[in-house]
A and B are shown apart, each in its own frame.
Chain A
């Protein structure tokens, strides 16, 4: 009853082209933002913020990045984990080279390095399609992994081969390093993710997003209409890698505090792809749902047996987690290829006409 659009008339195309045309949706967004920005920082425990919210938001951003490439432009990538790595290592180098510059700015700037590398590895997509492209993204994945190990300059010639985040302050508040408080880091991550989600949504609903979807749905027709595949594909690779890069930089600087190559290996790329598939290909909401699902599932799995008084070791939980994720991927692709986002919008459609079936 509450979720109705009756009585809300759109009198111009601007209103109809709005991203949330229905008033209740706009109220809901405000509510989520209020919870995220006010309620969680005040009431959330450090554990909840550190091991649930921050990683969830960071993976969401990376999933949005991959979704732009795979869900919106139709180019499957198994290299998104490595592009997160490019962001992380560039942020690390930038912070080393410019110790006095605002570290948040540097984290965002590191996205440009990821975008540049992404564009280079995106070039083959102009000639190569489908499975063949999967192999070129794997080339990016393994080549970059190798570079992260074999180019010691990237990790400042550390003996450990790991990158460790130094302490940095912005306006006298400690932002990075072990002393930074969870709430501070959470608020920075949240702000970046919210702004970048908004930008992604704008791009998708406009001219550029349409050109991506044209390439995805029928690339030949897109070219005959006048979309240049070069611009559409390379811009998708650039934007996608930018998002993954910023996510990677945040992962190291605002969550883990240190990282090695393993954080950006092919398993990470697979997990991101799973988030996008389960959440919904071609859906921003889906990126949030998918990231939440994949990240929370093991946490829930670890907690569940304890509720029933069972004692299952962590390795077993890990294996069950793999099985569930794998089975769910198959299930979603068979039953609902549009993922959780589609279920969500069907639920909203039901609400809109409730109590009638249509």
Chain B
């Protein structure tokens, strides 16, 4: 009975009795969830256009952040470093398309997936080879991003919002809106959606698949850079971040591989769920449950709905 009480009653009493703390936890969950969504968004962009499940998306986050900080440390002014990093991501997208994707036409999805695991190892090696393996801190102030925090006093308690977190949420929102605009209103965006729907048909109306692939990888690179800056500002820039970036996988499971709203909703569910579980139930298990909670949720979810939250029911054919 005591255990049942611990599981089903006590956490909720905690929540109600210190609502300011609950708000703080929810805010933390919201911010991490937003960042998960951004990483997942990068996956979705690439998967929709090329059918590649890009394991390297998480590494691209770290790689872009590392490039930015590395360039700054080498004496390049912050904003110029930012522009150069965008250039590096473009270069990366073009090289990936030229050297890898072009040669992988008609391969099975799982082979493509493993190629991106290889790619991520290469990027880890390359990033550390050029910029060194030690942990770096993000050049938050130099980029003009806000630091510091604001305190509120709801319910007579304390709620602290870091300005960088607010900026992260706002920038994520702008990024998503920008992508939505890009997809629905521009010529390239329409071509992209055509490719996502049907490769053959898109080819037959004269859309260049190679060009589209390079563009989505570049777009995913920009998303990665934005994520990298935000995340780097919250913690530090190092390849330890890749473990966090892997969390985008359960997010995708919840949201489905092809749905942008799915990626956002999935990211927020995981973000909220993980923080709440860690804070209110984690203690029962000895803590540190954030490492696996997202995966186990995804696993349980899959048992009941193998196609994801927004995916279509799978009808197998022979």
Report yes or no: B109 in contact with A329, Cβ–Cβ below 8 A: no
The reply on A328 being an interface residue by CB < 8 A is yes
* In the bound complex, CA of A105 to CA of B255 (Å): 47
Within 8 A of B (CB), among A41-96: 74, 76
* In the bound complex, CA of A333 to CA of B114 (Å): 8
* In the bound complex, CA of A71 to CA of B30 (Å): 40
The reply on B156 being an interface residue by CB < 8 A is no
* In the bound complex, CA of A45 to CA of B286 (Å): 46
Report yes or no: B113 in contact with A76, Cβ–Cβ below 8 A: yes
The reply on B9 being an interface residue by CB < 8 A is no
Within 8 A of B (CB), among A295-349: 315-316, 318-330, 333-334, 337
- Contact A135/B117 with A128-B306, A327-B122, A334-B103 known, Cβ cut-off 8 Å: no
Closest to A126 in B: B303
Interface flags, A106-148, vs B, CB<8A=1, else 0: 0000000000000000001001111110111011001101100
* In the bound complex, CA of A136 to CA of B306 (Å): 12
Report yes or no: B298 in contact with A135, Cβ–Cβ below 8 A: yes
The reply on A220 being an interface residue by CB < 8 A is yes
Shortest A284–chain B CB gap in Å is 20
The reply on A277 being an interface residue by CB < 8 A is yes
Which A residues are in CB contact (< 8 Å) with B111? Answer: 333, 337
Which B residues are in CB contact (< 8 Å) with A124? Answer: 299, 302-303
Report yes or no: A319 in contact with B129, Cβ–Cβ below 8 A: yes
Q: How large is the interface on B (under 10, 10 to 19, 20 to 34, 35 or more residues)?
A: 35 or more
**Which stretch from B141-149, B168-176, B289-297 is at the chain A interface?**
B289-297
Shortest A149–chain B CB gap in Å is 7
The reply on A150 being an interface residue by CB < 8 A is yes
Contact of A322 among B128, B246, B299 (CB under 8 A): B128
The reply on A273 being an interface residue by CB < 8 A is yes
* In the bound complex, CA of A323 to CA of B299 (Å): 32
* In the bound complex, CA of A128 to CA of B114 (Å): 18
* In the bound complex, CA of A131 to CA of B299 (Å): 12
Report yes or no: A143 in contact with B295, Cβ–Cβ below 8 A: yes
Contact of B298 among A139, A324, A334 (CB under 8 A): A139
* In the bound complex, CA of A150 to CA of B286 (Å): 6
- Contact A142/B295 with A127-B302, A150-B286, A326-B123 known, Cβ cut-off 8 Å: yes
The reply on A270 being an interface residue by CB < 8 A is yes
Report yes or no: B121 in contact with A334, Cβ–Cβ below 8 A: no
* In the bound complex, CA of A324 to CA of B129 (Å): 12
* In the bound complex, CA of A277 to CA of B299 (Å): 26
- Contact A326/B110 with A146-B289, A150-B285, A319-B133 known, Cβ cut-off 8 Å: no
Report yes or no: A131 in contact with B250, Cβ–Cβ below 8 A: no
Within 8 A of A (CB), among B117-143: 117-126, 128-129, 132-133
Interface flags, A215-243, vs B, CB<8A=1, else 0: 00000110010000000000000000000
Q: Which residues of B contact A (CB under 8 A)?
A: 53, 99-100, 103-104, 107, 109-111, 113-115, 117-126, 128-129, 132-133, 243, 246, 249-250, 253, 257, 285-289, 291-292, 295-296, 298-299, 302-303, 306, 316, 318
Q: Which residues of A contact B (CB under 8 A)?
A: 74, 76, 124, 127-132, 134-136, 138-139, 142-143, 145-146, 149-151, 220-221, 224, 266, 270, 273-274, 277, 315-316, 318-330, 333-334, 337
Closest 4 A-B residue pairs measured CB to CB? Answer: A329-B118, A322-B125, A326-B122, A326-B121
Task: Show 27 residue pairs from A and B whose CB-CB distance is below 8 angstroms, ordered by the A residue.
Answer: A124-B302, A127-B303, A128-B302, A128-B303, A131-B110, A135-B302, A136-B298, A138-B246, A139-B250, A142-B292, A143-B295, A145-B292, A146-B292, A273-B114, A274-B121, A277-B118, A315-B133, A319-B133, A320-B125, A322-B121, A322-B124, A323-B121, A326-B118, A330-B100, A330-B122, A333-B114, A334-B104
